[in-house]
């Protein structure tokens, strides 16, 4: 026998190096902030995350996944997000320049930090998760304060500091509890300034959401401190946030039929037949126009490996537009079952995937 035998770890019989492509389950636990109280624990989502990844996946890819599914509760980062509004940024990958128009915490099941930008060349407005992109700040909006200055007593714009704390409360408490937390903060502000501004306070005290959550109590107190001397403006800001929450809730009710996940057809076909499609389910908690740009580049790169002669026009169009059908985006067509399952496993850390039999292709065989 000519050749050299290398030692190979075999966790299954006759698997060899193929084991490196089989996804493994990682369980991740959210840890609390540091002692400086600038990062707060999450109350809005499960503290544990489970994700299927290939053994050779890079740490950077895992971090990108966490950015897509974890709200930001670091007050310094949220202050930076607000400071970007009005700035001109440049994407280091595409060299596309854009102006940052607005910032908000998404009022959805996942309260992610979302910026609205306007592209310089096309004039198109987009809502993006800037933490997922590599960009440079070409022209800052204004002389930037030190990161985290929203917490400091001498912050130059107290109302901006107050808005930063509202974002932190939203992200940590979740969109469902956010209106109630706003009302609690509203009552605290009215109690403080009621005697001097003629505001009526509720005579009947009701249980507070923060009574059993010390970290939430701390955030409300910090927001109250940031509003000191600007209580009337802070109350107006709370009213705007309550209105935004009500609008988002009304929109969710109007579209309450939800989205269905891509179905897997249980059809007895030859696994070697090129009649299998791969679908990516669109998360219900994230709008499609926000979700698809976050994952499109990574998914396209994975799909291209299965089409060495170039992407078919239909596949390329689907990847570019991200058009969802029955709650799922088709990312690859006419693969063997093994190829389809391999591709589904490779992008499983980006979104929920499914393999379906293409009935049209099956009839053509």
Chain segment 151-205, per-residue pLDDT in tens: 444 444 668 899 999 999 999 888 888 999 999 999 999 988 865 555 554 544 4
* Of 216, 217, 236, residue with least CA distance to 227: 236
Give the DSSP H/E element, type plus range, for residue 301.
helix 288-304
Mean pLDDT of 312-339: 87
Chain segment 216-246, per-residue pLDDT in tens: 888 899 999 999 888 999 999 999 999 998 8
Q: Tell me the average pLDDT of the chain.
A: 78
Both tokens assigned to 254: 């109007």
Collapsing DSSP to helix, strand or coil, 195 comes out as helix
| 334 Rama sector, left if φ>0, alpha if ψ -120 to 50, beta otherwise | left
CB 50 within 8 A of CB 25: yes
Taking the whole predicted model, whether its pTM rises above 0.75 is answered as no
In the chain, the percentage of residues whose pLDDT exceeds 90 is 25
Chain segment 245-281, per-residue pLDDT in tens: 888 877 765 544 333 333 333 335 778 888 889 988 8
Confidence of residue 148 (pLDDT cuts 50, 70, 90): very low
CA distance 113 to 129: 7
CA 29 to chain CA centroid, nearest Å: 17
Angle between helices 59-69 and 288-304 (to 10 degrees): 160
């Amino acid at each position: 026998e000519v050749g050299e035998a290398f030692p190979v770890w075999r966790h299954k019989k006759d698997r060899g190096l193929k084991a490196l492509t089989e996804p493994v389950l990682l369980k991740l636990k959210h840890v609390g902030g540091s002692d400086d109280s600038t990062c707060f624990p999450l109350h809005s989502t499960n503290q544990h995350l489970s994700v299927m990844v290939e053994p050779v996946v890079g740490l950077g890819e895992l971090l990108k996944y966490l950015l897509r599914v974890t709200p930001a509760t670091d007050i310094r980062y949220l202050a930076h997000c607000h400071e970007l509004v009005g700035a001109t940024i440049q994407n280091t990958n595409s060299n596309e320049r854009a102006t940052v128009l607005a910032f908000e915490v998404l009022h959805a099941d996942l309260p992610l930090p979302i910026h609205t930008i306007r592209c310089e060349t096309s004039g198109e407005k987009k809502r993006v998760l800037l933490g997922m992109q590599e960009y440079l700040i070409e022209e800052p909006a204004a002389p930037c304060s030190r990161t985290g200055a929203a917490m400091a007593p001498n912050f130059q714009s107290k109302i901006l500091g107050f808005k930063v704390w509202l974002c932190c409360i939203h992200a940590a408490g979740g969109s469902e509890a956010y209106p109630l937390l706003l009302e609690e903060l509203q009552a605290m502000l009215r109690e403080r300034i009621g005697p001097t501004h003629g505001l009526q306070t509720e005579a009947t005290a009701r249980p507070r959401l923060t009574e059993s959550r010390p970290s939430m109590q701390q955030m409300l107190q910090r927001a109250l401190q940031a509003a000191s001397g600007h209580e009337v403006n802070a109350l107006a800001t709370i009213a705007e946030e309550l209105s935004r929450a009500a609008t988002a809730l009304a929109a969710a009710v109007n579209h309450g039929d939800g989205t269905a996940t891509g179905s897997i057809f249980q059809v007895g076909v030859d696994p070697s037949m090129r009649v299998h499609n791969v679908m990516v389910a669109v998360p219900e908690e994230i709008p499609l126009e926000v979700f698809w740009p976050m994952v499109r580049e990574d998914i396209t790169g994975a799909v291209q490996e299965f089409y060495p002669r170039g992407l078919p026009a239909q596949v390329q169009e689907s990847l570019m537009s991200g058009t969802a059908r029955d709650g799922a985006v088709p990312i690859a067509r006419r693969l063997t079952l093994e190829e389809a399952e391999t591709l589904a496993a490779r992008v499983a850390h980006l979104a929920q995937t499914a393999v379906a039999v293409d009935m049209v292709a099956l009839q053509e065989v």
